[in-house]
Each structure stands twice: as structure tokens, then as C-alpha cells.
């Protein structure tokens, strides 16, 4: 049976992990490579590297970091942030990424999904969508959750999967940062709408939030979080043990 | 030295890095003399079977791989590279493989209940078949490895050395003499995967 995946997300700016970390036992707390190694040994099933730099210098540092990570960490790596063209796909895949996630880039130019899927395979193309419930309708937001596109979210996700997205990361703006649990109603809707793997993001505050996610939605494939892992509020090894105890397939 | 066959298919960065990580010299190559000089061969691959099989033949790599395998040099196909070792594939039509492993490549969707997610993607447990193969010298039954595939090897009972359960039983690894195939990605399967590569390098 396929195990449920736990995915730490690393936001990288100018080659460093941002968001404070409490890794006193690491030599370099903001080194993406050190953190990636730590998470891998702790049992992370996959890693997401999110490039939040805008400058070309920052981008160059990001690809260097990615190359170094991929030379030392041998679990699947997904890369996102600023992906808008096939050249962007090509650049990160050459540095060792296995999957590439598109968000605003796909909103601006949806055909990128089909083009990338044809070139690299569906399994390589991850749609990441920032979603908020506005007046009873789930809407897709662009530009890091700042701009309401007006598009209905479930329809957008379905369309992207039809075009070739092999996996969907659902970021709930409404639960993000609140630490009171994942957005179960939204995630259920997405799981009903598509048959590709769905990754829940936004809202995890403790181990029980992951247990609730996998128990309430058996179809969900993975849970993603950032700061609770970086701040060591949740240890991945403890989370994995709790999952196994709850009868959730875990590695 | 390990020759990683270069025939223009897939991203070989992780494979090369993982071999380097376990202290092996690996070269991505399409050079006949280099492949002949290597003590092991890895046939990688992602994407569609037909396209990869064509590229393998057009580049002349198919003949070299077959000849080297028949001479007894340890060979490992990974993911689509494993599927290419089979006699044929039914992925969008019927296509001929290298014929080094008896059996054929068929869709997973035909053997799992409707609504099951395809591709079979993620970490799944290995179950050994028959006597534990030297490839799994450092591996325990139930260890998890990383899979990404929509088709699988069938009718290969005699060669199957490990399977995995995804509602149906899917072939995870095969062996015929010194020809090995892994449906999963050892180079993406953490320490378990590195140990499988290490064991292959000792065969």
C-alpha cells in the first residue's frame, strides 16, 4: 500500500532558508542543504524547495543550492517559485529536481502545464493553487495569495489536471498560519474532483492535525508544512510514529 | 566504473549523484569503448516506452547493451529502463523491447479497481519473492522504495525477485542471470535505495 507522505517545505531566499528555525544542533541553521539532510534522516518522504527570490542573483544561488542538495539527498525533490516558462522547468530539472510546481505562472499562461507535461511527463508537473472561500465560493488567488483571480477553484484544478498536471498542492489561505488544522471541507472537494494525488497545505499546528487529515480524507496523499517543522513544534519522526499508531500507512 | 547509458532519455543527475555518494565512479556515456570497459551498466529511463525504445535502437545503444548483458556484465534497468529489458510493451500499441527479461509491460489500470490513482506514485513496501536475492543483501522485507509508473511488468514470474502491493500485486524487481531491473527508483529511495545500488555494485 502506498504510504501517506509528509513533506516539509523550505522557503529559500538568496540561497538561505527563511522563516526562523530552531535547529540548534545544526551547524548552519539556515542552510537548505543541512536542513534537507536533517529532514531526510528524520523520515521526510519528499522535500519542497520554494524559491522566493526575485533577483537573477538570487535565482543563481537557488540553483546552486538545489544542485548541492540533490547531490546529497536522495528522496524526491519538488521545486516551485517563479516558474513561468519551459526554460524555468528545464533549469531546475537539470539541477536535480524531480517535480516542478507552477502557481501564478499557470494562471498567467495555462498552456505551460500541457507543454511541460508533454516534454517531461505528467508526474513532473505539479499544480499549486492558493485558495480562499469568498462568499461561499472557493476562489483561486494569484501572486502569493494577494490577488483574487475570480476563478472558481475546483474547476481550475480540474482543468489543470486535464491539461496534464500530475499532482495538486492545495494551499488554503483561510487556514494557513492559523495552526488549527487543515482545510478539510476544501480538500475533500478537491479529492472528489480529481484522481491525481492531492497534497494538503496550510493549517497544520500539531501532530493531531495530520492524523485528522488522513483519517477524515482517506484519499488525500500527503500533508505539507513549513514552520511547524522548522520551529520543531512537530518532529517528523514523532509524526511518523503517531501515524503508524493510528493505522495510517507511513514509511 | 559504471556506465550509465545515455540515449537522450531522462534526467540522470540524481542517478549519477547517488552512485558518486556511495563511492562509485559513474559516467553517463554513449561511447562503445567506454561501455565495454565499464564493469557494470545501468539503463535509466523515464517517459514513453515506444519513444525510448526507438532512441535506444537509433543510438546503437540497444545492440551494445544486449551484447554486454549476454557476455555476463551486470546490468540494471531502472523504471522505464527496466521495462525496456522486457520482450514487449503494450503501452499505446505494441512495441518490442530488448528481450532480456521474459514477459511484457501492461497497464496498471487493468488490474486495479476503478478509481484507483494512476500512476502508482509514492513510497511502497518491497516483498521478496523466492530466496532473497543478493541485490537485497542490505534490504529488509517491508522496506519502502519510491515508485512512479503507470505500466508494470507482467508474465515474468520466473524472473520476479520482489513485488509490491497496490490493490494488485505489481512487479517491483526482476532478475535474469546478471540482468537486473527495478521498477522503483533506487536513486530516489533514500538509504534503502542507496543500499540497493551498493549491493548491485558488489554483484
Which domains does chain A carry? 5-125+199-245 (3.20.20.70)
CA nearest A41: which of B110, B193, B191, B21?
B191
Helix (H, G, I), strand (E, B) or coil at B117: coil
pLDDT of residue A25: 53
CATH number of B2-201: 3.40.50.880
Quick one: A223 exposed, middle or buried, by C-beta within 10 A (0-12, 13-18, 19+)? Answer: buried
Q: Which residue among A2, A94, A197 places its CB closest to the CB of B123? A: A2
CA A200 to chain B, closest CA, distance in angstroms equals 15
Q: Which residues of A touch B (CB under 8 A)?
A: 1-3, 5, 40, 45, 70-72, 74-76, 93-96, 98, 121-123, 166-167, 195-197, 221, 251
CA B161/CA B133 separation, integer angstroms: 7
Record: contact A1-B125, CB cut-off 8 A? yes
CA nearest A18: which of A188, A161, A202, A226?
A226
Q: Which residues pair with A173 in a beta bridge?
A: none
**What tens digit of pLDDT does each residue of B135-187 get?**
999 999 999 999 999 999 999 999 999 999 999 999 999 999 999 999 999 99
CA A221/CA A92 separation, integer angstroms: 24
**What tens digit of pLDDT does each residue of A43-80 get?**
999 999 999 877 788 888 899 999 999 999 999 999 99
Size of interface A-B (CB pairs under 8 A): 74
Q: Give me the interface pTM, i.e. the ipTM.
A: 0.92
Record: contact A166-B119, CB cut-off 8 A? yes
CA A110/CA A142 separation, integer angstroms: 13
Helical (H) or strand (E) element with B41: strand B40-43
CA B163/CA B173 separation, integer angstroms: 7
pLDDT of residue A19: 63
pTM: 0.94
Helix (H, G, I), strand (E, B) or coil at A235: coil
**What tens digit of pLDDT does each residue of A196-237 get?**
999 999 999 999 999 999 999 999 999 999 989 988 899 999
- Closest Cα in chain A to B147: A2
Record: contact B123-A123, CB cut-off 8 A? no
Q: Which residue among A70, A121, A196 places its CB closest to the CB of B46? A: A121
A72 contact residues in B (CB cutoff 8 A): 17, 21
CA B196/CA A151 separation, integer angstroms: 47
Is B187 within 8 Å of A74 (Cβ atoms)? yes
The DSSP code for B141 is T
**What tens digit of pLDDT does each residue of A76-130 get?**
999 999 899 999 999 999 898 999 999 999 999 999 999 999 888 888 999 999 9
Amino acid at each position: 500500500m502506498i504510504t501517506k507522505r509528509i513533506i516539509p517545505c523550505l522557503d529559500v531566499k538568496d540561497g538561505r532558508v527563511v522563516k526562523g528555525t530552531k535547529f540548534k544542533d545544526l551547524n548552519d541553521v539556515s542552510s537548505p542543504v543541512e536542513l534537507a539532510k536533517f529532514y531526510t534522516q528524520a523520515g521526510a518522504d519528499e522535500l519542497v524547495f520554494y524559491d522566493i527570490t526575485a533577483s537573477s542573483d538570487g535565482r543563481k544561488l537557488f540553483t546552486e543550492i538545489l544542485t548541492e542538495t540533490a547531490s546529497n539527498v536522495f528522496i524526491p525533490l519538488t521545486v516551485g517559485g517563479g516558474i513561468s516558462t519551459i526554460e524555468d522547468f528545464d533549469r531546475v530539472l537539470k539541477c536535480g529536481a524531480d517535480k516542478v510546481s507552477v502557481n501564478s505562472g499557470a494562471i498567467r499562461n495555462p498552456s505551460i502545464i500541457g507543454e511541460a507535461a508533454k516534454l517531461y511527463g505528467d508526474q513532473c508537473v505539479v499544480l499549486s493553487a492558493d485558495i480562499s472561500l469568498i462568499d461561499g465560493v472557493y476562489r483561486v488567488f494569484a501572486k502569493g495569495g494577494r490577488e483574487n483571480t475570480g476563478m472558481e477553484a475546483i474547476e481550475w484544478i480540474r482543468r489543470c489536471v486535464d491539461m496534464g498536471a500530475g499532482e495538486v498542492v492545495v494551499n488554503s489561505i483561510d487556514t494557513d498560519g492559523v495552526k488549527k488544522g487543515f482545510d478539510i471541507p476544501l480538500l475533500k472537494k478537491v479529492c472528489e474532483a480529481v484522481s491525481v494525488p492531492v497534497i494538503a497545505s496550510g493549517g497544520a499546528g500539531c501532530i493531531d492535525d495530520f492524523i485528522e487529515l488522513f483519517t477524515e480524507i482517506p484519499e488525500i496523499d500527503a500533508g505539507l508544512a513549513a514552520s511547524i517543522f522548522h520551529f520543531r513544534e512537530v518532529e517528523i519522526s514523532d509524526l511518523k510514529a503517531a501515524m503508524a499508531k493510528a493505522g495510517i500507512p507511513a514509511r | 566504473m559504471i556506465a550509465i547509458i545515455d540515449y537522450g532519455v531522462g534526467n540522470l543527475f540524481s542517478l549519477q549523484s547517488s552512485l558518486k555518494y556511495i563511492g562509485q565512479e559513474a559516467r553517463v556515456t554513449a561511447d562503445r569503448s567506454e561501455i565495454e570497459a565499464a564493469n557494470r551498466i545501468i539503463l535509466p529511463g523515464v517517459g514513453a516506452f515506444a519513444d525510448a525504445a526507438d532512441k535506444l535502437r537509433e543510438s546503437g545503444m540497444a545492440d551494445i547493451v544486449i551484447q554486454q548483458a549476454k557476455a555476463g556484465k551486470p546490468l540494471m534497468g531502472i523504471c522505464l529502463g527496466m521495462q525496456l529489458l522486457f520482450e514487449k510493451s503494450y503501452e499505446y500499441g505494441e512495441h518490442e523491447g530488448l528481450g532480456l527479461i521474459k514477459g511484457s509491460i501492461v497497464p496498471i489500470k487493468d488490474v486495479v479497481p476503478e478509481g484507483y490513482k494512476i500512476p502508482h506514485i509514492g513510497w511502497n513496501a518491497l516483498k521478496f519473492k523466492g530466496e532473497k536475492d543478493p541485490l537485497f543483501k542490505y534490504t529488509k522485507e517491508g522496506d519502502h522504495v519510491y515508485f512512479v509508473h503507470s505500466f508494470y511488468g507482467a508474465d515474468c514470474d520466473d524472473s520476479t525477485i520482489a513485488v509490491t502491493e497496490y490493490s494488485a500485486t505489481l512487479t517491483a524487481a526482476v532478475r535474469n542471470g546478471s540482468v537486473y531491473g527495478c521498477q522503483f527508483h533506487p536513486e530516489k529511495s533514500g538509504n534503502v535505495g542507496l543500499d540497493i545500488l551498493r549491493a548491485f555494485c558488489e554483484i
